[in-house]
Structure 1
Amino acid sequence: MFHQPTLRVTTILETVSAHNGELTMSEIARMANIPRGTIMPILQTLCGQHFLSMEKQSKRYYIGLRCFLSGASFANTSGAYSGVASIVNMMARESEETAHFCILEKGDVLYVVKAESTHQIRMYSEIGRKLPAYGTAVGKALLSDMSLEELNQLYPDGLSPLTEHTIRDVRYLYDQLQQVKQTGFAHECEESNIGIRCIATPIRYNGSIVAAISIVIPLFRYDEEKRCDIERILTQAANSLENIIPLTDILNKTR
């Protein structure tokens, strides 16, 4: 059983981080399911200690300097993180597209490592961002070992669409995941962002899926040659990542 006051603090930080400084106190309270009377002193303390900052005019909160410094410390001290970042950078360099390393957090994808495309036109994403796993290729890669029963438990309220192309039926999602298991690759076309395709593959540790990697491509740069090239890059990167010892270092530190 977790310590509830501490859990409230971490929930607030994760909520603000996921929305990139877009939230008022009322919005944070609603999303974090914390009463306004309880959340106010927590926000004041976090701002006073510089883990959060508040824009005075709009009264909106965003991540503060000390959170940034904590993240920088993690990147500097984790040997596994450096190894993962190096491989993700290689993926972006070889494909000339944006590359990600992600983990599954409940029913969401958490973006842990990112390397930018060299092109001016590219997908917007950021480290720490979360998206519903069912609406992304990298999420489908992470979910691909799950049974239909596990998926129904993970999404008891069904699948809320991110775009008009997002999967809305858990059974259809399960059928897609069977294809991912057969081919080793998950695909997405405009399910999370209009104009974007994505290809992903899972990363395994002791036989279990612990993470996934993806490469994101604007539709106008996508063709069969590009698909084959990206699948080759993903396969090489996945093999390299699965040989990083201990890969569990980065996974444990992000949970």
Structure 2
Amino acid sequence: MTAGDSGGGARVKSAVRTVELLEYFAGRPGMHSLAAVQEAVGYPKSSLYMLLRTLVELGWVETDTPGTRYGIGVRALLVGTSYVDGDEVVAAARPTLDRLSDDTTETIHLARIDGTNVVYLATRQSQHHLRPFTRVGRRLPVHSTALGKAILATYSDEQVRTLLPETLPSLTGNTATDREKLIAELHRVREQGLAVDHEENTLGLRCFGVAIPYRTPARDAVSCSVPVARLTPAHEQMIKGALFDARDRLTMATRRL
């Protein structure tokens, strides 16, 4: 290996560590000690400290007054916001999300699959006092959400098996934790064109989701979340109809993307 190759490899390693650090902080809000970060990422303490100090100077990581604890910095917010602001699907979906919010009066989400999670790209808050709170950038397991299941239903069974482990993490007592049972449910989702989260992510909250088919398999979906205390059979049917209408509108809005 030449000196130039070695330097190039070192730069790649440093880039990987930088991304891993930012993802560590993004997934764990708050401030963390150097020891806690080192235990989680496993980097040598001296090189980890130097990398953290560099990221602090650049604004990607913040530190407390004594300089002993670290957390995600404001520049990460700027990059995340620019991703959403520049996304063509988010822009194309805005009128439909507004209309779906008005039609249902409930909380609306647009999300994208990212590995074994879905990430929220846009939300419209419910008009009711009793409502779920969701922020843009939130990540949830793909198997426990109506959004995720709607997207997974566009995958083949083998693609789902490749993506997900045999045993899935449980968020509530209703979460499907067996991959094969989830796959059987995805067959029904394909037939019905709509996925349901039966309090699998949050107790007391039911969600309905449809995939946006501008790609195959899909990567985005839209959903409507409703507290079960307010969900009547008539309201459920109205929401499902509104979601199918939104899917058709989004299919047209994203057909050239």
- Taking structure 1 as the reference length, what is the TM-score of the superposition? 0.83
Match of 1:159 among 159, 168, 184: 168
Report Cα offsets for 1:176-217 as digits up to 9, x if no partner: 000100000000111111111000011112543121111111
Q: Post-superposition shift, 1:62?
A: 3.9
Give me the whole-angstrom Cα distance separating, in 2, the residues matched to 1:84 and 1:230. Answer: 18
Deviates most, 192-201 or 6-15: 6-15
Q: For residue 215 of structure 1, what is the aligned residue in structure 2?
A: 224
2:115 equivalent to 1:112: no
Partner of 1:226: 235
Quote the offset at 1:239 in angstroms.
Answer: 1.8
- CA distance in structure 2 between the aligned counterparts of 1:35 and 1:176, rounded to whole angstroms: 41
Aligned to 1:35: 43
Residue 93 (structure 1) shift = 2.7
* Structure 1 residues 132-151: aligned runs within 5 Å: 132-151=141-160
Identity %: 25
Alignment root-mean-square deviation, CA:
2.8
CA distance in 1, matches of 2:142, 2:226: 18
How many residues get paired? 247
SS of the counterpart of 2:212? strand
Does residue 203 of structure 2 align to residue 194 of structure 1? yes
Cα distance between partner residues in 1 of 2:19 and 2:138: 15
| Cα distance, 1:144 vs structure 2 | 0.7
Question: One-letter code of the match for 2:43?
Answer: P
Shift of 1:247: 6.9
CA contact (8 A) 1:21 1:60 kept: no
How do 1:84-103 residues align onto structure 2 when only pairs under 5 Å count? 84-103=93-112
Q: Following TM superposition, by how much is the alpha carbon of 1:231 offset from its aligned partner in structure 2, in angstroms? A: 1.3
Q: Which residues in structure 2 correspond to 1:56-67 (within 5 Å)?
A: 56=65, 61-67=70-76
Letter in 1 for 2:243: L
Q: Call closer, same or farther: CA 1:152–1:207 in 2, change over 3 Å.
A: closer
Asked if 1:44 is matched to 2:53, the reply is yes
Indicate if the aligned counterparts of 1:85 and 1:114 stay in contact, CA closer than 8 A.
Answer: no
Shift of 1:50: 1.5
1:51 Cα offset (Å):
2.0
What SS does the corresponding residue of 1:138 show, helix, strand or coil?
Answer: helix
Q: Flag structure 2 segments of 5+ consecutive residues without an equivalent.
A: 1-8
Give 1:142 deviation, angstroms. 1.1
User: Between Structure 1 and Structure 2, whose CA radius of gyration is higher?
Assistant: 2
What's 1:175 paired with?
184
Contact 2:92-2:254 at 8 Å conserved across structures: no
Pick from 8, 13, 24: which aligns with 2:17?
Answer: 8
Mapped partners of 2:66, 2:230: distance in 1: 42
In 2, Cα distance between equivalents of 1:192 and 1:174: 18
Note the residue ranges of structure 1 that are not aligned, 5 or more in a row.
249-255
**Relative to 1, partners in 2 of residues 1:144 and 1:77: Cα closer, same or farther, differing over 3 Å?**
closer
Contact 2:105–2:127 under 8 Å retained in 1: yes
Mapped partners of 1:22, 1:95: distance in 2: 39
Q: Deviations over 1:48-76 (max 9, x none)?
A: 21223234589654432222233343444
Secondary structure of the corresponding residue to residue 188 of structure 2: helix
Shift of 1:117: 1.3
Q: TM-score, normalised by structure 2?
A: 0.83
Cα pair distance change 1:169/1:48, threshold 3 Å: same
